[in-house]
A and B are shown apart, each in its own frame.
Chain A
Amino acid sequence: MEELDTPQVITHIEHNINHSIFDCKWIPCSAKFVVIGSLPRGTGTLEVYEITSGEIKKIKEIERPNSFKCGTFGASSDVERRLATGDFKGTLEIWDLEKSCQMYITKEHTDIINSIDGMGGNVNNCGAPEIVTGSRDGTVKVWDPRQRGKPVANMQPVKGESKRDCWAVSFGNSFNDAERIVVAGYDNGDLKMFDLRTMSLRWECNLKNGVCSTEFDRKDIPMNKLVATTLEGKFHVFDVRTQNPTKGFAQVLNNDAKSGTIWVARHVPQNRDLFISCAGNGQVSLWKYEYPEHRYHVDNQGVSSGVPGKLKRLQRMVVSSQPINAWEWNRDHLGLAVATAYDQCVRVLVTTKLNLQ
């Protein structure tokens, strides 16, 4: 009864691809998306699909010697729509998909780029177009497509410290031209927040399990909420509005060991308090973050600390037999999403009644 009244996550199109796929991204201002993966022979592919009345049609395929791992359009304008990709060998490439050619290529990472995020391409007054990449070589590098060859910022462990595999990176807090924050999650459960304006580590904590994905609810506002998902079915939601000098940020932890690794969590672009989490057992869950009455309280010393809210699960649905490794909501159409899973299927999913919440 209750479940019937809530949003429904429905697989609209399911398309089997006969190779591994790792990421999928909507091409801005279009009904197309690009699927990033690797062929069994170890080469990488970029495939462009278009949805037409319930069908998806491959309209382009690019093959490269190295397997691609991740991609983003975040640093590109809606007109140019250039895809930045990271591959298994640590190469960062920026593609013009129309012409099927690279606009930018650099190999500064020595190992696989696990995660990539872009910012500044399609929003005004929110800083320079930049790409952040996190790699197994332990470094997080920030790139500007206008600067060839060298990163504009490089976060790496100090000499002597062991290099951890960086699994997740994301931008946030980019509400003006100066401010910008990068959050990076590592395989040992470290979560680090780098301030790109001051070029310093702003905050860090350990989530005990390897961090698979991180995302701010919005990139272009003063940072509000941050979701970090980990192995063993856990994810943390931080209220990053209020930072306590000693306690850091308030957080809510959701633990569902049965579902396995939470591979990814993505906020609904049209409603920042809703997000979906994709688990290792092929289940997706739609969550709503409910704010507490007061988001922070000031203690008797005048130091404010955040107050965690509550998480409410709106819906869950098993959509795949294998882990879902990528999910992206469409920016232009509420409830429309594309997801890739290790069952070599790309799915277009629709979620109804999102606007009722």
Chain B
Amino acid sequence: MKAKRYAYYPGCSQHGTAAEYEVSARAVADKLGITLVEVEDWSCCGSTPAHTVDHVLYGALAARNLALAEQMKLDTMVTPCPSCLIALKSARVMAQDKEHLQELRELIDLPLKGTIEVKSLLQVIFEDIGLEALTAKVKQPLTGLTFAPYYGCILTRPPQLAQFDDAENPVSMDKIIAAVGANAPDFPFKTECCGAAFGLAKRQIVQTLSAKVLAAAEAIAADAIVVACPLCHQNLDLRQEQVNAFRGARSRMPVWYITQVVGLALGFSPHEMGLDKHAVASDAILAKWETHLKEHAQ
């Protein structure tokens, strides 16, 4: 089967704090028969405070990337990051309006059509690949492990823009986790906010909100939280020590990217998936999995 080609917009996190998301995403895509063609000369998606200042400029930042992707003659652009996703999708909606389209074209000085489809990597795995094809490629099922699927606040919102899954009770990650053989119990905090970019400006907000997410994951006896967003990962993993201090807990809850979960099941090693790059170590959960696999083999 010929690999389907997607224009790939990594976004800034993928080249920095979320390097392991990038590595695992590319590896998983490759294994699942998707070719990710990185958009050449891509620039910031505009997911900055810019949108509170000037909507058109915010749109133009993302629109430049849309225009570059359109030049690649591919029908869909995929991004692993929900913030980028919303920025790109917003620009695409803005470009449907004739007047705005003209403004955007003038600002970016590139031909822009606003026709290219934008999807999250999660959506591509869930809809374009499909659960059946995914299950068929599982080499080492993640049996015995329990994950808390955490979608974050913007992956499915606003629903008119996201056009994916149920906005209030999404289930795509739950089903993917189940497809690779692990448990995904009902996680009530799956679409709550982690505090996002307030980590810098008002740390207490992140501490309050992320503390609740971590506590909720512990409450359902999860071995790890699964995310699809670099910012969620940062708050839950990198800041887990801070959050622990704030809530007076000693939690050591690993936070994995959904691509890492899928990658492990597809046969990659934890190291290949960058699981050793997290702030919170995954030793315990990996050991648990190994024990399970051994028991299973016997």
Do chains A and B stick together as partners? no
Chain B interface (Cβ < 8 Å from any Cβ of A): none
